[in-house]
């Protein structure tokens, strides 16, 4: 009955300015108008995953009576500060989403659901940059789309795999992915009331958000919940159940727990502290486990075999990916030596492969060891997997488009990072400070938003008065810069090396 009422509601106000109060599945929410858009912040899409619900699939939120004033972002999920791991913050009551829509809607609009990055250990839908909400969806929504941004469980709370915690459905780990699936189901069941088209949903994410988007494309549980995807700087990080359970066993041992009750009795702060103590990197990572339920096989394996969703895809990487990440993911990376790189490569890839990698990326070809490691990791973790993913998915749907973001800002704050990891985000959302960005960069941001929202609307990013963006045949890609152009075979010989390693 609820879905039937929603279906009837939209035509009643299709040609009018939409009301600020929206009837959702769980209660009425009232939004906050700003300019030509309205924001609905802090809408619960799942019950707080606390007590017996910790490390369980998300449950429906409790309905409310009266009007919920959706004007503030929710708490972030529990996490530690990258700068100081002793500082821990957030709340387990964090499974909320935010909806941004135009005030005046004449037809159902495409929906873009954003999954934030942060290594799956930090971040939220309300992240700040230079005092601005990085993922505020106002500027994207003003281009006739509905933007939804979500929180999801992080770190051990989102990904801990342990037999003690296995659900009745057989889920181990992957709670964060189930949170994202729950948010997509909320969108399916409620977005029409906000003016969105539940049959035209694009999932888009960056870094960990892109990793998770790839996992959702491969997950049978997410099938049919979205029709397109945008993957910005995505990794392939899924692990076997055996490896996931090994990590879970190490965590339980460090916590001194031998029962599920003990694990669920830990404070959220202790869970974050123990998880962070297991990895010395400033920016840690967590990821999906091939548990046989949420993921039945590896993400790339599913894509190559045609067992992933056959949907239009926009996928890309930033030319200098690791330049913004080196000190965060490799301790003392700025002063690392070639001898230390040899050990790191051997530890990570194994001694035999490390010898071949060192021969491919010779120390004499780089001005500094840190530049060498930056290029190795950029190729191995992002650029070349991006090529393999785009090739795999284009076998089953020709509407796969690739980009390389290569713009280096002239700003004194950003120029040293080149086209580093995450530096495309202000352009995608349009949340840019005039103190940092130039007028041509604001135009560039508008171009990117046009491409992204056009793709979300029709599954093809091509727009008038811009270069023709060809699909990925022959490894074609659009080079994104102040003047963008089609190119091909980015990092081709290096990626051939990694494919054969």
CA distance 246 to 248: 5
Token reading at 110: 């495409």
Q: Are strands 128-129 and 132-133 parallel, antiparallel or unpaired?
A: antiparallel
Residue indicated by tokens 């003047």:
483
- Element of type H or E holding 275: helix 268-277
- Which of 368, 345, 367, 369 minimizes the C-alpha distance to 356? 345
What distance in Å separates the CA atoms of residue 112 and residue 217, rounded to the nearest whole number? 15
Nearest-angstrom CA–CA distance, 318 and 232? 8
φ/ψ (deg, to 5) at 300: -65, -35
Report the catalytic residues: 207, 321, 421
Beta-carbon contacts of residue 378 (< 8 Å; ≥ 6 apart): 317, 320, 321, 322
Q: In sequence order, what are the beta bridge partners of 313?
A: 229, 400
- C-alpha 234: how far from chain center: 8
Please name the residues in contact with 431: beta carbons below 8 A apart, sequence gap of 6 or more. 129, 132, 133, 134, 135, 136, 139
- Counting Cα atoms < 13 Å in the Cβ hemisphere of 203 gives 28
* Six token digits for residue 311: 């949907």
The Cα-based distances of 205 to 336, 389, 468 in angstroms read 31, 15, 24
Cα(28)–Cα(32) distance, integer angstroms? 14
């Amino acid at each position: 009955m609820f879905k039937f009422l929603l279906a009837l509601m939209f035509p009643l106000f299709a040609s009018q300015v939409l009301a600020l109060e929206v009837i959702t599945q769980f209660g009425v929410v009232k939004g906050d108008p700003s300019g030509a858009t309205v924001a609905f912040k802090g809408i619960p899409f799942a019950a707080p995953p606390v007590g017996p619900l910790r490390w369980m699939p998300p449950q429906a939120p409790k309905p409310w009576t009266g009007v919920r004033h959706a004007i503030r972002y929710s708490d972030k999920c529990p996490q530690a500060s990258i700068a100081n791991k002793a500082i821990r913050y957030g709340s387990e009551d964090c499974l909320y989403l935010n909806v941004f829509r135009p005030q005046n809607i004449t037809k159902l609009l495409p929906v873009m659901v954003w999954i934030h990055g942060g290594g799956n250990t930090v971040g939220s839908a309300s992240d700040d940059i230079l005092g601005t909400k990085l993922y505020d969806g106002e500027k994207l929504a003003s281009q006739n789309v509905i933007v939804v941004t979500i929180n999801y469980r992080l770190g051990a709370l989102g990904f801990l795999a342990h037999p003690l915690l296995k659900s009745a459905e057989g889920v181990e780990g992957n709670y964060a992915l189930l949170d994202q699936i729950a948010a997509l189901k909320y969108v399916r069941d409620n977005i029409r009331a906000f003016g969105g088209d539940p049959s035209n949903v694009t999932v888009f994410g960056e870094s960990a958000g892109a990793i998770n988007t790839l996992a959702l494309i491969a997950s049978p549980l997410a099938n049919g919940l979205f029709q397109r995807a945008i993957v910005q700087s995505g990794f392939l990080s899924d692990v076997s159940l055996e490896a996931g359970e090994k990590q879970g066993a190490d965590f339980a041992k460090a916590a001194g727990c031998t029962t599920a009750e003990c694990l669920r009795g830990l404070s959220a702060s202790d869970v974050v502290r123990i998880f962070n103590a297991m990895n010395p990197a400033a920016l840690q990572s967590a990821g999906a486990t091939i548990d046989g339920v949420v993921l039945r096989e590896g993400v790339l394996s599913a894509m190559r075999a045609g067992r992933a969703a056959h949907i239009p895809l926009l996928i890309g990487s930033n030319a200098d990916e690791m330049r913004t990440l080196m000190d965060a993911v490799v301790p003392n990376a700025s002063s690392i030596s070639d001898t230390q790189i040899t050990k790191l490569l051997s530890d990570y890839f194994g001694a035999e492969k490390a010898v071949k990698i060192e021969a491919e990326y010779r120390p004499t070809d780089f001005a500094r060891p840190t530049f060498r490691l930056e290029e190795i990791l950029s190729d191995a973790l992002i650029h070349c997997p991006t090529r393999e993913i785009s090739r795999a998915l284009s076998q089953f749907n020709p509407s796969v488009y690739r980009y390389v973001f290569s713009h280096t800002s002239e700003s004194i704050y950003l120029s040293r990072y080149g086209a580093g990891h995450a530096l495309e985000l202000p352009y995608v959302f349009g949340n840019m400070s005039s103190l940092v960005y130039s007028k041509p960069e604001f135009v560039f941001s508008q171009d990117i938003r046009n491409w992204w929202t056009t793709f979300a609307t029709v599954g093809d990013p091509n727009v008038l008065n811009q270069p023709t963006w060809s699909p990925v045949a022959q490894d074609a890609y659009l080079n994104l810069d102040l003047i963008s152009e089609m190119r091909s075979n980015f990092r081709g010989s290096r990626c051939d090396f990694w494919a054969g390693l």
